[in-house]
Amino acid sequence: MRILVTGATGFIGGHLTRLLTERGDHVRALVRPAADREMLSSLEAEIIFGDVRDCESVERAVKGCDTVFHVAADYRLWVPNPSDMYETNVQGTVNVLEAALSENVHRVVYTSTVGALGIPKNGSPGDETTPVKERDLCGPYKRSKYLAEQKALTYNAKGLPVVIVNPSTPVGPGDKKPTPTGKMIVNFLNGKIPAFLDTGLNLVHVEDVAEGHILAHQRGRAGEKYILGCRNLTLAEIFRLLGKISGLPAPKIRLPYAPVLAVAYATEAVSRSITHQEPLICLNAVRMAGKKMFFDSTKAIRELGISQTPVERALEEAVTWFRKQDFVH
């Protein structure tokens, strides 16, 4: 089977590409010329240079493929020009889906995010059916992924089978960029987190997320969404686990939300008008922390059979990897 993976040099995409090549699939990777290709260096993957924003390179990459895993996305909580993020995440997705439709691809697995899903007001975990509207989502990343997800869903009616996966918060080895969650772990290991907000995340091992993509291709129903997650934890619980794993003290000071939000607005204003650099306190990150990002993965467990590797192992492997890669000083 000939498979295209976009975003193959990223955290999830790199693990997915490795699993596919280990199965013996012919994997083609759409890679930006300036991207770090270290994760692909030891893999038998065909490299096609291009960008999801460039229709010609996308069409060249999709040509002859049976399956497309569209994993590529601009994932940042702060971006100097939000229109760039929308161009990659929304228009880039349309470009990939149009090329797949034209090439009569058998199936597309589109990587969305739990950030594009709703969160119940009563504090219970959200699922694939929890209502959400664009105005409910904060920041260009969540909004752009929500809009891209809505676009992806329309292609089933056009005759292109699309399955959507919504990863929660993947952790584990290989987070080279690193992702915002990886940055949090690195900051913890470097003693840069003296306090925390009362929020929460659903953590999942990145290997389970990569496997979940393959399972979605094999068993997922076209037009359906599947949350690829594992365990809901408060931020305080995450730091306690990291403390136990690393031998470092976990922060014990819980900050009140309102003053932190006010400071975030001030630092954001300075960044936008003066420094044009990412602020020390990211406004979108603080706004997201206003709700616990708890989710229910029952559907993916039941229909796909996604693994539920203990979160402790995922965090331990992440800590070990970051230390070996000299992220910790």
Span of 26-40, 57-71, 92-106, 242-256 with lowest mean pLDDT: 26-40
| Residues with catalytic roles | 141
Handedness of CA 160, 161, 164, 165 (dihedral sign): negative
User: Which segments within 141-207 are labelled E, that is strand?
Assistant: 162-167, 169-171, 195-196, 200-205
> Hey, is 82 helix, strand or coil?
helix
* pLDDT above 90 (res 30): yes
Say if residue 73's pLDDT is above 90.
yes
| Fold assignment, 2-173+205-230+295-308 | Rossmann fold (3.40.50)
Tens digit of each residue's pLDDT (9 = 90 or more) over 110-124: 999 999 999 998 889
Alpha carbon dihedral 22, 211, 233, 282, in 10-degree steps, equals 80
Average pLDDT of the chain? 95
For the chain, state the CA radius of gyration: 19
CA angle 185, 13, 317 (to 5 degrees): 35
